[in-house]
Amino acid sequence: MLVSTSATTVTFASGAGSGSSTVQRVDVTPSGGTVVVVESTPFHPVDHTWPDQPGDSGQIAADGVSVRVTEAVMAAVSDEGVFAVGADIPVKRGAEGWTWLVGHPLDGDAPAWLAEGARVDLSVDVPRRAGLSRGHTACHLASLALDLALADLWRKDPGADALGAPNFEARANQSSRIHEDGSVDDYRLGKSLRRAGFDTETFAATLADREVAINARLAEWVGSGAPSRVVPEGPTIVDRRSWHCELPEGTAEILCGGTHVASLAEFVSISVSLDLTDPQLLVMTTTAVPAA
Ligand SMILES: [Zn+2]
């Protein structure tokens, strides 16, 4: 019997780290790994097109036995029945003609009990998830503080960010890598940014002052203990989600597929260091210190 797969429902937006569900399919991928898909999961998968936040790790269990999930990934099955995982998915997230899923790659082969139709318990490694959530929130706050700290360097309007500041982030960010309690962002400071009206020379000459300004702003935000949350537009992995944070300057809303803290009170501090060793490449390293 061919059971049709439906889009995976996800519960991580509300902060869930565990849940029960039914196995929809178990596939052995071309690379040899076994990937499990369930109807509803607490696992946050790494995005296959913008892999900023790593996927959750954890366990799938039933009747006292369990298997390890290495790192949850995006998966998709085409209307023709082609199953693809992660970077092997040939289309953009949410594309028509594909059903969008969360894949749970196993550390090893699937045991006999882990088969289509089985009822299972899913649990995410919660301390790691919490660290990644802090890292992701810190990453967004650092980018907003960066935009504010560079606002006077624009000769033309580059468009506004989530707090109304000139959007350096959108113009220059080329990669964002989130880890537990921090992130590393790369910004391209090339000709096109200069042509867009950004004063790269003054920026380079005042780098240390900019870093001080960003860190002062971040300290203020952490001190505010502002609420932070993920707002989903629907229940499945491909429904749009955004991060909302009620900062003193106003509520910032940023489209975001990741996980976040519930409050900035979860931090003791967030700070950045700016590196311009390569004058064409700004590297911003963000470090969060969690509250005990
Ligand atoms: Zn994000």
Give pLDDT, residue 186.
98
What is the 277 CA–ligand 1 centroid distance (Å)?
26
What's the pLDDT tens digit per position in 45-80?
999 988 999 999 999 999 999 999 999 999 999 999
What is the 162 CA–ligand 1 centroid distance (Å)?
12
N- to C-terminal Cα distance for the chain?
A: 52
CA distances from 167 to 71, 172, 277 (A): 32, 9, 23
Sheet strands (E) in the chain: 9-10, 18-28, 34-38, 40-41, 58-62, 65-69, 73-78, 83-85, 98-105, 119-124, 173-179, 182-188, 228-232, 241-247, 250-255, 267-278, 281-290
Fold of 128-290: Threonyl-tRNA Synthetase; Chain A, domain 2 (3.30.980)
What is the 215 CA–ligand 1 centroid distance (Å)?
20
**How far apart, in whole angstroms, are the C-alpha atoms of residue 189 and residue 207?**
13
What is the 90 CA–ligand 1 centroid distance (Å)?
23
Does 2 score more than 60 pLDDT? no
CA distances from 281 to 26, 50, 68, 108, 184 (A): 43, 19, 39, 40, 12
- Domain 9-124, CATH among 1.10.40.50, 3.30.200.20, 2.40.70.10, 2.40.30.130: 2.40.30.130
What is the 137 CA–ligand 1 centroid distance (Å)?
7
Highest mean pLDDT among 1-10, 90-99, 160-169: 160-169
What is the 133 CA–ligand 1 centroid distance (Å)?
10
Does 3 score more than 60 pLDDT? no
What is the 226 CA–ligand 1 centroid distance (Å)?
17
Give pLDDT, residue 93.
85
What mean pLDDT do residues 119-127 have? 98
Does 4 score more than 70 pLDDT? no
What is the 32 CA–ligand 1 centroid distance (Å)?
31
> Predicted confidence band at 32 (pLDDT cuts at 50, 70, 90)?
confident
Does 1 score more than 70 pLDDT? no
What is the 25 CA–ligand 1 centroid distance (Å)?
29
Token pair belonging to 8: 């995976």
Q: What are the residue ranges spanned by the domains of the chain?
A: 9-124, 128-290
Give pLDDT, residue 31.
81
Q: What percent of the chain has pLDDT over 70?
A: 99
Residue type (1 letter), 12: F
What mean pLDDT do residues 6-23 have? 96
What mean pLDDT do residues 164-184 have? 97
What's the pLDDT tens digit per position in 193-212?
999 999 999 999 999 999 99
What is the 255 CA–ligand 1 centroid distance (Å)?
7
What is the 94 CA–ligand 1 centroid distance (Å)?
17
What mean pLDDT do residues 167-190 have? 97
Give pLDDT, residue 94.
85
Does 108 score more than 60 pLDDT? yes
What is the 258 CA–ligand 1 centroid distance (Å)?
5
Sheet strands (E) in 106-232: 119-124, 173-179, 182-188, 228-232
Does 265 score more than 90 pLDDT? yes
What is the 145 CA–ligand 1 centroid distance (Å)?
15
What is the 53 CA–ligand 1 centroid distance (Å)?
8
What is the 3 CA–ligand 1 centroid distance (Å)?
34
**How far apart, in whole angstroms, are the C-alpha atoms of residue 77 and residue 75?**
7
Q: Are 18 and 42 in contact (CB under 8 A)?
A: yes
Does 292 score more than 90 pLDDT? no
What mean pLDDT do residues 82-109 have? 94
Q: Do domains 9-124 and 128-290 have the same CATH topology?
A: no
Q: Do strands 34-38 and 98-105 pair parallel, antiparallel, or not at all (unpaired)?
A: antiparallel
Round the average pLDDT of the chain to a whole number and report it: 96
